[in-house]
Amino acid sequence: MTKIFYFLLLSQAIIFSQAPYTILISFDGFRHDYMNRGLTPNLQKVADNGVKALSLMPVYPTKTFPNHTSIITGMYPENHGIIANTFYDPVTNKTYKISDSIQVRESRWYKGEAFWETAQRNGIIAASFFWPGSEVNLEYRRPRYFKDYDHYLPYKLRVDGLIEWLKLPQKDRPRFLTVYFDATDTYGQNFGPNSDSLNYAVNLLDGMAGYLMDKLAEINLIDSTNLIFVTDHGMTEISSDKYVNIEEILGDEKVAYWNWSTFCLIQPEKGRLDEVYNKLKSNEKHYKVYKKSEVPDFYHFSSSPLFSDLILFTDLGWEAGDTKAQKRFQEWNAKGNHGYENGELDMHGLFVAMGPSFRKNYKTGTLRNIDIYPLLCEIFDIPVRNGIDGKGERIRFILNKY
Ligand code: AMP
Ligand code: ZN
């Protein structure tokens, strides 16, 4: 009898000595100031009971896949390899594209170690209800539980999926989980960051935060779970007249290009680099053009071998491309975009977190998204992978153990 009692006591101690459950929630394109619109009572509850940062600074380029990969690896895109949503590898002659599920699952593109890999190496089970890179085609690089991306899967089912995983027996239950929602990006791009439709999306995602908290309370895990709400980038207003037509500037020059939009990767024909560069440089208005070797260090953007010889960055609110891309852009008539410099406040996103590991009712300034990976390592008390760009000492003060 006493033996059984001690066994039960010991197993409880083991359970309680484990790190809390931690859910990383991404609201795509949720700009840092959307919480000031009076539409987010649930996120406010998280802030009041936890930590709220003034903003979360993304990495350059402020696009979805590069930033989600930086959040989950703690590395800059030039180091983790996902340098854009679309890019080309001249060695293998393959193009990475987020709409191409075969390439998105190709493990070779992902040079960094995602937190779920670090966690699982340390015996912590991970699960992902969507996150860029979570579906890779090598089992040991994926979270134990994952889902193939389905843009149209109703949001409540994503939360229900997390809850099902959290109801698994202890030995199979994940401790680290991710989930992703696109609405603020989709509505922000189609209708603009100041539209009623965007406000609807903000309120919708806040409702998902509330639904998740209610469901966690139902299974008695709300007090033992960290919730970390983050964003990959912000959003700014655009208009169809703010467009630089590169084809008109380049005339007869033939170039290969990727990402005609807020930044362009441009590959001139052999022997034509200086001519193409000079044409773009002498017309430099509403954009900046660099040779790969001259891109300023603060972008942390160009040391990857995957970069083209020229890179063009548009000014906030501007787009660039050829005549075909311009026509497509005008037909779409988008009202918002991202992809601009990560120093621009409009590109900054949301960071609010609460749970047993976090300080309570604590406000702080801007945090960097590359520091979230080491923050997760701090929470789970496991070593960070060597060679990351993020730094735990820049963010750990938001945890209550410091
Ligand atoms: P963008 O705004 O162009 O940077 O990309 C946003 C889009 O990325 C969203 O509309 C999603 O459809 C897409 N997306 C987000 N996560 C994934 C994923 N795991 N797999 C494929 N596409 C995704
Ligand atoms: Zn995004």
Mind listing the pLDDT tens digit for each residue in 336-391? 999 999 999 999 999 999 999 999 999 999 999 999 999 999 999 999 999 999 99
How far apart CA 362 and CA 378 sit, in angstroms, is 18
Handedness of CA 267, 80, 375, 209 (dihedral sign): positive
Residues 317 and 351 both lie in one domain: no
How far apart CA 206 and CA 322 sit, in angstroms, is 39
Does residue 6 sit within a domain? Answer: no
CATH number at residue 281: 3.30.1360.180
Residues 150 and 206 both lie in one domain: yes
Does residue 12 sit within a domain? Answer: no
Over residues 73-97, the mean pLDDT reads 95
Place of tokens 């010889």: 309
Q: Which of 68, 66, 72, 103 is nearest to 85 (CA)?
A: 66
Does residue 254 sit within a domain? Answer: yes
pTM of the model: 0.95
Does residue 295 sit within a domain? Answer: yes
Q: Which two tokens stand for residue 94?
A: 């393959």
Owning domain of residue 286: 243-333
Residues 144 and 195 both lie in one domain: yes
Residue ending a domain, among 333, 355, 388, is 333
One-character DSSP codes across 136-168: -S-GGGS-SEE----TTS-HHHHHHHHHHHHTS
Residues 231 and 273 both lie in one domain: no
Q: How far is the CA of 336 from the centre of ligand 1 (A)?
A: 16
Strand ranges of the sheet holding 255-258, from the earlier edge strand across to the other edge: 255-258, 263-268, 310-314, 287-291
Does residue 25 sit within a domain? Answer: yes
Q: Give the pLDDT confidence of 153-164 residue by residue, as tens digits.
A: 999 999 999 999
Does residue 47 sit within a domain? Answer: yes
Q: What pLDDT, on a 0 to 100 scale, did the predictor assign at position 301?
A: 86
Q: Which residue has its alpha carbon closest to ligand 1 atom 20? A: 149
Residues 75 and 188 both lie in one domain: yes
Does residue 3 sit within a domain? Answer: no
Which sequence positions are flagged as catalytic? 64
Least confident of 119-133, 246-260, 270-284: 246-260
The gap between the terminal CA atoms of the chain, to the nearest Å, is: 41
How far apart CA 160 and CA 129 sit, in angstroms, is 10
Q: Which of 213, 23, 126 is nearest to 136 (CA)?
A: 126
Number of domains in the chain: 2
Place of tokens 């060679």: 387
Residues 249 and 230 both lie in one domain: no
Burial track 356-375 (b if 16+ CB lie within 10 A, e otherwise): ebbbeebeeeebbbbbbbbb
Q: Give the pLDDT confidence of 17-67 residue by residue, as tens digits.
A: 578 999 999 999 999 999 999 999 999 999 999 999 999 999 999 999 999
Residues 36 and 166 both lie in one domain: yes
Given ligand 1 and candidates 26, 106, 149, which is best to mutate, with the most ligand atoms within 8 Å of its CB?
A: 149
Look at residue 16 and tell me whether its pLDDT is greater than 70: no
Q: Give the pLDDT confidence of 198-241 residue by residue, as tens digits.
A: 999 999 999 999 999 999 999 999 999 999 999 999 999 999 99
- Comparing 46 with 13, the larger pLDDT belongs to 46
**Torsional class of 286: left (φ above 0), alpha (ψ -120 to 50), beta (otherwise):** left
Q: What pLDDT, on a 0 to 100 scale, did the predictor assign at position 15?
A: 46
Q: How far is the CA of 395 from the centre of ligand 1 (A)?
A: 27
Residues 138 and 222 both lie in one domain: yes
Q: What pLDDT, on a 0 to 100 scale, did the predictor assign at position 93?
A: 94
How far apart CA 312 and CA 256 sit, in angstroms, is 13
Residues 167 and 215 both lie in one domain: yes
Residues 326 and 356 both lie in one domain: no
The Cα-based distances of 159 to 20, 26, 154, 207, 359 in angstroms read 18, 12, 9, 11, 25
Instruction: Give the model's confidence band at 294: pLDDT under 50 very low, under 70 low, under 90 confident, else very high.
Output: very high
Residue ending a domain, among 310, 333, 356, is 333
The half-sphere exposure of 110 on its side-chain side, counting CA atoms within 13 A, is 26
Q: What pLDDT, on a 0 to 100 scale, did the predictor assign at position 10?
A: 47
Average pLDDT score, the chain: 95
Q: Give the pLDDT confidence of 308-347 residue by residue, as tens digits.
A: 999 999 999 999 999 999 999 999 999 999 999 999 999 9
User: Is 185 near ligand 1, meaning CB less than 6 Å away?
Assistant: yes
Given ligand 1 and candidates 27, 64, 142, which is best to mutate, with the most ligand atoms within 8 Å of its CB?
A: 64
The Cα-based distances of 393 to 67, 348, 375, 396 in angstroms read 21, 21, 9, 6
Residues 290 and 255 both lie in one domain: yes
Ligand nearest to the CA of 28: 2
Instruction: Give the model's confidence band at 1: pLDDT under 50 very low, under 70 low, under 90 confident, else very high.
Output: very low
CATH number at residue 49: 3.40.720.10
Q: What pLDDT, on a 0 to 100 scale, did the predictor assign at position 3?
A: 52
Residues 205 and 72 both lie in one domain: yes
Residue ending a domain, among 312, 333, 354, is 333
Percentage above 90 pLDDT, the chain = 92
Does residue 9 sit within a domain? Answer: no
